Structure 1
Amino acid sequence: MLILLPPSEGKTPADSGSPVDLATLSFPSLTTARQAVSTALALVSGQDDALNQLGVGASLGHEVHRNTRLAQEPAAPAHSIYTGVLFDALGYNSMTAMQKRKADAAVVVISGLWGAVGFADSIPAYRLSMSVGLPGLGKLASFWKPQLAQALAEHAQGHLLVDCRSSSYAAAWVPDPERTVAVNVFTERDGARKVVSHFAKHTRGELARHLLTRRGKTPETPAQLAHAAAERWVVELVPGTARKAHALNIILTD
């Protein structure tokens, strides 16, 4: 089982440590592409209209400025750099040593800067969304799509993919639909369903934690995943097609 996550928008910078070594990151075939994105990001981040180009507000100016010196910034494991609603709910720090090893092996974060990283990969904090376009590279989802298709295909072979990504990150890599289950979260009140955003992030983080910490066999099929999720939530499994992934709908009720 692999759990696909989006990065958090905000990052928690490392207090100390060596800078990122691209050669040590998972999926080394992405190294050249990572260098290209890092270079383009540094150039954009140093321009007067950097905030506009990166689609962020003035309060995030210090994070954008950090992009200009990523090669010198201290790096730390991705599970400590990525923070926020989803990652707080996943709760890596409160896991046992065995559960952490399982998370390190199972979690893949799809990133606008790195393409994809493992949970234990050492990276610096940065500010870059997959929806951004960079000079010479274009929209990052389109830039990364062929790169990730090649780099992740072998890694994903034989695994059930639990896809907890948001739409812009899902566009960067479309894995085998027969082995992929997209996780959707709805609230239901008086028989009416509503798609949610904040609760979706939190619930996807809780699902990831549940799958990584529960006892029993690791799910290997969409049906087994639905059974595992049903241990905590009301769920429904929508079968996929040859071109569309299965869907696990988690229904939050009052």
Structure 2
Amino acid sequence: MLVLLPPSEGKTAPTTGAPVDLTALSSPLLTTHRRRVLGALVRVSASPAAMSVLRVGPSLAGEVARNVGLRTAPTAPARAVYTGVLYGAARLDDLPDDAARERSDRCVRTISALWGVVGPADLIPAYRLSTGTDLPGVGPLAASWRRPLGRALDAHAARRLVVDCRSATYAAAWSVPATAAGHVTVAVLREADGRRTIVSHSAKHTRGLFTRHLVTRAGSEPRTPTDLLDVAGELVGTTLVDVALQDRGARGHVLVLVVRAPG
């Protein structure tokens, strides 16, 4: 399987570690475009227009200023740098055994505005950049990554079940190819008083918990959308109250995870 995650806005900046080595990151076919995006981000972050271009407010001025030194900033494994709600629930930096760590490193990938895609073990610095950015010298980032990510990920996804936890913004950067064994988008609904509604914040938490279950559970990895439904069903009665699989034809499947409303 291939589990796709969005990056987190919240990141923990490493205090020690060697600077990023673009040639050492996974998916080396992306090195040229990574270098181009990194250079453009460093330049714009040092400019008077930085806050406007990166579409952030005054409270994030320190993170934008940190972008200027990204080439020499300390790095840590991506699993420790990404620390938002989804990653706090997945806890990929705190897995129970070697088997779970091996599965996580092999199967989990984060789609990134700066790096294109990284694995949990890739050494990266903390940064501030969204894929919705129109970066001077590069252009709209989602569009700029489509061809490089296609070259890097299409073969990687072939004959594998793709479990897609990305937001729509990051999904725009790469489309799962028809050669994949299946493409399942993970959706989360909240149940209260017999009604089910879409949620946002708790959806990230639930996708994180599901990601952790996928990499820590015993047994073989799911190979089909129906297998994935069965794996999700293992959480009913604990994290979840119900699961369902929706077939969207050529657009793949949607796995619906239902959580109970608090209180």
C-alpha contact (below 8 Å) 2:75/2:125 kept by paired residues: yes
Letter in 2 for 1:80: A
Letter in 2 for 1:182: T
Measure, in 2, the Cα distance between the counterparts of 1:116 and 1:93: 18
Match of 1:126 in 2: 127
The answer to whether residue 174 in structure 2 is matched with residue 167 in structure 1 is: no
1:152 is aligned to: 153
What residue in structure 1 maps to residue 198 of structure 2? 195
Q: Residue in 2 aligned with 1:211?
A: 214
Residue 252 (1) aligns with residue 234 (2): no
Is residue 25–residue 121 contact of structure 1 (8 Å, CA) maintained in 2? Answer: yes
Question: Is 2:122 the counterpart of 1:114?
Answer: no
Give deviations 1:27-65, integer Å, cap 9, x for gaps: 111111001101111111111121111011111111111
Residue aligning to 1:241: 249
Does the aligned pair in 1 maintain the 2:92–2:120 contact within 8 Å? no
Cα distance in 2, alignment partners of residues 146 and 93 from structure 1: 31
Task: Kindly state the Cα deviation for residue 7 of structure 1 after the two structures are TM-superposed.
Answer: 0.6
SS at match of 2:196: strand
Structure 1: state its 5+ residue gaps: none
For the residue of structure 2 that corresponds to 1:56, the secondary structure is coil
Provide the aligned length of Structure 1 versus Structure 2.
253
Which letter does structure 2 place at the counterpart of 1:184? A
Which segments of 5 or more consecutive residues in structure 2 lack a partner in the other structure? Answer: none
The equivalent of 1:182 in structure 2 is 185
Q: Secondary structure at the match of 1:93?
A: coil
Give the alignment partner of residue 233 of structure 2, picking from 230, 235, 244. Answer: 230
Code of the residue aligned with 2:62 in structure 1: it is H
TM-score by length of 1: 0.96
Q: CA deviation at 1:245?
A: 2.2
Tell me, in whole angstroms, the C-alpha distance in 1 between the residues paired with 2:209 and 2:98: 18
- How much does 1:192 deviate? 2.4
Q: Is the 8 A contact 1:240 1:247 kept in 2?
A: yes
Residue of structure 2 equivalent to 1:94: 94
**TM-fit CA distance, 1:16:** 0.5
Deviation of 1:25 after TM superposition, in Å, equals 0.5
Q: Which amino acid aligns with 1:212?
A: V
How far apart are residue 239 of structure 1 and its match?
Answer: 1.1
**Distance in 1 between the 2:221 and 2:69 partners?**
41
Asked if structure 2 preserves the Cα contact closer than 8 Å seen for 1:10 and 1:127, the reply is: no
The answer as to whether partners of 1:184 and 1:248 remain within 8 angstroms in 2 is yes
Tell me which amino acid in the other structure corresponds to 2:74.
P
Q: One-letter code of the match for 1:45?
A: S
**Aligned AA (1:210):** H
Give the AA of the match of 2:220: K
Superposed counterparts of 1:71-86, under 5 Å: 71-86=71-86
After TM superposition, the runs of 4+ consecutive aligned structure 1 residues lying more than 3 A away are none
- % identical aligned pairs: 49
